[in-house]
């Protein structure tokens, strides 16, 4: 193994002596080739590749900037709209409360009025009914009085056997009517 | 990875020898096409296709996975490198493409350096047909490639420094405020050296990291051939695999990122020295 390593080292040393300098040899022709080939590559890339991709990146940057601006505007607009919306909702709620309160107030007033009107109407009707009843009572009493008078006259004529004159009739009527209790009659009706 | 497969022979550095495939030696300069150049060309083609595929076609405001990949790469370079290192929008607009291209190019060339490809000097024969050996090789593991990229950064950094500040102000910016007069000279020399050290550190960091990764993988696999013991594969192959995964998952991206980020920082420092 050591022999083999030694021989390898010797071979490497021999190689270095024979052609090792070629590794660090500067060859002007190859340098010129390198410069020419690189410069051609540079000009072609500059002309055909870098400009296009640069434009595209710029365009995208602009679009992104626009999109961000639009997003900012949309956000602020949405914020404004939200504020307006909130305000509208608050106004609507306030108006609804007002309307409700007004409706309640009007309802209460209406109820009171209707109640008062109904009360007054009832009073009026009761009064009218009382008046009608009194009138009817009076009419009935008059009728009863007339019938009592007629019956009294007929009875008196039959008892006395003579026709009564006007003074007799008046006296008899007053006596008969005076004996009648009209209040009891009215109550029984 | 391809080897010199003789019994007991193992020369991993041969992977980095670059014999010309198409000879273009003009005397004053040798522009021959070799393995590194082919890897660079393949890397460039893939970088361009990757860039165009992820960053150009079918782009939409609602990105697909492909577009998201492209945008992620773009954003990574833009925010982590350009925006954080360059002082103002004008500088970012001017230098972002350079930094991004540098990052993508180095990343792709690093990455294909770990994908076995039939791009090799060596061949094998199957049924009388000679085919290139499949191997791994990173062009960025070559000092010349890394140095060339670093030199470009070095050059544009100082050009921008002078352009924005004027030569006098730019050179004066190298001297920290409040330095006593008798120290200005030595500090200027030190700063000058440090500027060149940046060049070396930038290139050597990339080159050495990529070279070391490849070398480690080659050496561990090569141990099997050096010791001529198949049983060593039980240790060598898992270790080489772990190194391979570490390189692909971490080193490839980190090296590309560091190179591009340092380029951005150097440029930012040159454009606005007080930044």
Residue among B156, B107, B171 at smallest CA distance from B264:
B156
Number of helices (H), then strands (E), in chain B: 9, 2
A65 shares contact with chain B (CB less than 8 Å): no
Mutate to test the interface with B, among A19, A27, A59, A63 (most CBs of B within 10 A): A27
| End-to-end Cα separation, chain A, in angstroms | 157
Query: What backbone torsions phi and psi does residue B239 show, to the nearest 5 degrees?
Result: -65, -45
pLDDT greater than 90 at residue A85: yes
Highest mean pLDDT: which range of A11-15, A159-163, B138-142 = B138-142
pLDDT at A180: 67
Distance from CA of A37 to the nearest CA of B (A): 7
Name the residue facing A30 among B47, B61, B145 (closest C-beta).
B145
Q: Determine the average pLDDT of the residues in B5-10.
A: 52
Name the residue facing B40 among A24, A37, A49 (closest C-beta).
A37
pLDDT at B2: 44
pLDDT at A170: 76
Domain extent, residue B131, equals 12-271
Distances (CA, A) of B272 to A82, A133, B154: 53, 126, 16
pLDDT at B218: 87
A64 shares contact with chain B (CB less than 8 Å): no
pLDDT at A172: 73
Does residue A128 or residue A11 have the better pLDDT?
Answer: A128
| Range with the poorest average pLDDT among B77-81, B187-191, B223-227 | B223-227
> Does residue B2 sit within a domain?
no
pLDDT at A189: 56
pLDDT greater than 90 at residue B212: yes
**Under an 8 A CB cutoff, do B61 and A63 touch?**
yes
Name the residue facing A34 among B54, B149, B211 (closest C-beta).
B149
**Under an 8 A CB cutoff, do B151 and A31 touch?**
yes
pLDDT at A81: 94
- pLDDT band for position A9 (cuts 50, 70, 90): very low
Q: Give the number of A-B residue pairs with CB atoms closer than 8 Å.
A: 159
Burial of B265 (0-12, 13-18, 19+ CB in 10 A): middle
Q: Determine the average pLDDT of the residues in A126-137.
A: 93
Does residue B230 or residue B94 have the better pLDDT?
Answer: B94
pLDDT greater than 50 at residue A7: no
| Range with the poorest average pLDDT among A145-159, B159-173, B261-275 | A145-159
Residue pLDDT, tens place only, A96-127? 999 999 999 999 999 999 999 999 999 999 99
pLDDT at A90: 94
- pLDDT band for position B228 (cuts 50, 70, 90): confident
A2 shares contact with chain B (CB less than 8 Å): no
Q: Determine the average pLDDT of the residues in B237-243.
A: 93
pLDDT at B130: 83
> Does residue B88 sit within a domain?
yes
Q: Determine the average pLDDT of the residues in B200-213.
A: 94
> Does residue B7 sit within a domain?
no
Name the residue facing A52 among B55, B97, B142 (closest C-beta).
B55
> Does residue B232 sit within a domain?
yes
Chain A's closest residue to B147, CA to CA, is A31
How far is B261 from B6, CA to CA, in rounded Å? 44
Q: Determine the average pLDDT of the residues in B56-66.
A: 86
**Under an 8 A CB cutoff, do B44 and A37 touch?**
yes
pLDDT at B28: 85
pLDDT at B136: 86
Q: How many domains does chain B have?
A: 1
Q: Which residue has the tokens 């991709």?
A: A53
Alpha carbons within 13 angstroms on the beta-carbon side of residue B140 total: 35
Residue pLDDT, tens place only, B112-132? 999 999 888 778 888 888 888
- Contacting residues of A for B97, CB less than 8 Å apart: 42, 45-46, 50
What ipTM was assigned to the predicted interfaces of this complex?
0.91
Q: Which residue has the tokens 């504020």?
A: A83
| Range with the poorest average pLDDT among A68-82, B106-120, B127-141, B230-244 | B127-141
pLDDT at B10: 62
pLDDT at B142: 92
How far is B170 from A87, CA to CA, in rounded Å? 68
pLDDT at B6: 46
Residue among B267, B261, B262, B263 at smallest CA distance from B86:
B267
pLDDT greater than 70 at residue A185: no
pLDDT at A44: 96
> Does residue B160 sit within a domain?
yes
pLDDT at A86: 94
> Does residue B153 sit within a domain?
yes
B96 CB contacts (<8 Å, ≥6 apart)?
A50, B77, B78, B82, B86
Mutate to test the interface with A, among B32, B62, B73, B148 (most CBs of A within 10 A): B148
> Does residue B5 sit within a domain?
no
Distance from CA of A81 to the nearest CA of B (A): 32
**Under an 8 A CB cutoff, do B223 and A37 touch?**
no
> Does residue B1 sit within a domain?
no
């Amino acid at each position: 193994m050591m022999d083999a390593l030694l021989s390898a080292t010797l071979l490497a040393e021999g190689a270095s002596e024979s052609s090792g300098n070629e590794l660090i040899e500067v060859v002007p022709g190859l340098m010129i080739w390198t410069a020419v080939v690189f410069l051609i590559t540079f000009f072609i890339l500059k002309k055909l590749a870098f400009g296009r991709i640069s434009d595209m990146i710029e365009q995208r940057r602009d679009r992104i900037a626009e999109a961000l601006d639009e997003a900012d505007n949309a956000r602020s607009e949405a914020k404004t709209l939200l504020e307006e919306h909130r305000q509208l909702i608050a106004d609507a709620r306030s108006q609804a409360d007002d309307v409700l309160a007004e409706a309640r107030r009007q309802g209460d007033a209406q109820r009171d009025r209707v109640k008062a009107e109904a009360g007054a109407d009832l009073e009026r009707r009761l009064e009218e009914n009382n008046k009608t009843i009194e009138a009817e009572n009076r009419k009935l009493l008059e009728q009863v009085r007339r019938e009592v008078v007629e019956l009294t006259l007929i009875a008196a004529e039959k008892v006395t056997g003579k026709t009564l004159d006007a003074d007799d009739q008046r006296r008899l009527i007053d006596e008969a009517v005076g004996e009648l209790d009209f209040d009891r009659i009215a109550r029984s009706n | 990875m391809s080897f010199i497969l003789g019994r007991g022979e193992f020369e991993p550095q041969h992977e980095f020898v670059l014999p010309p495939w198409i000879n273009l030696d003009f005397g004053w300069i040798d522009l021959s096409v070799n393995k590194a150049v082919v890897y660079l060309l393949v890397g460039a083609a893939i970088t361009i296709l990757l860039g165009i595929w992820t960053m150009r076609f079918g782009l939409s405001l609602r990105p697909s996975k492909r577009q998201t990949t492209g945008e992620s790469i773009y954003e990574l370079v833009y925010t982590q490198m350009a925006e954080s290192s360059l002082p103002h929008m004008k500088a970012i607009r001017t230098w972002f493409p350079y930094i991004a291209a540098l990052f993508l190019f180095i990343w792709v060339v690093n990455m294909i350096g770990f994908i076995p490809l039939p791009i090799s000097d060596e061949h094998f024969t199957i049924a009388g047909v000679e085919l290139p050996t499949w191997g791994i090789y990173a062009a960025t593991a070559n000092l010349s490639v890394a140095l060339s990229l670093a030199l470009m950064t070095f050059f544009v950094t100082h050009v921008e420094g002078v352009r924005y500040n004027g030569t006098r102000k730019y050179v004066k910016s190298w001297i920290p405020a409040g330095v006593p007069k008798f120290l200005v000279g030595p500090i200027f020399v030190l700063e000058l050296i440090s500027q060149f050290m940046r060049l070396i550190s930038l290139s050597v960091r990339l080159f050495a990291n990529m070279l070391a990764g490849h070398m480690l993988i080659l050496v561990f696999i090569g141990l099997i051939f050096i010791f001529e013991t198949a049983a060593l594969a039980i240790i060598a192959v898992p270790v080489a695999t772990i190194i391979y995964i570490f390189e692909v998952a971490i080193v490839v991206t980190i090296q590309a990122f560091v190179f591009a980020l340092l380029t951005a920082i150097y440029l930012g420092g040159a454009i606005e020295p007080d930044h």
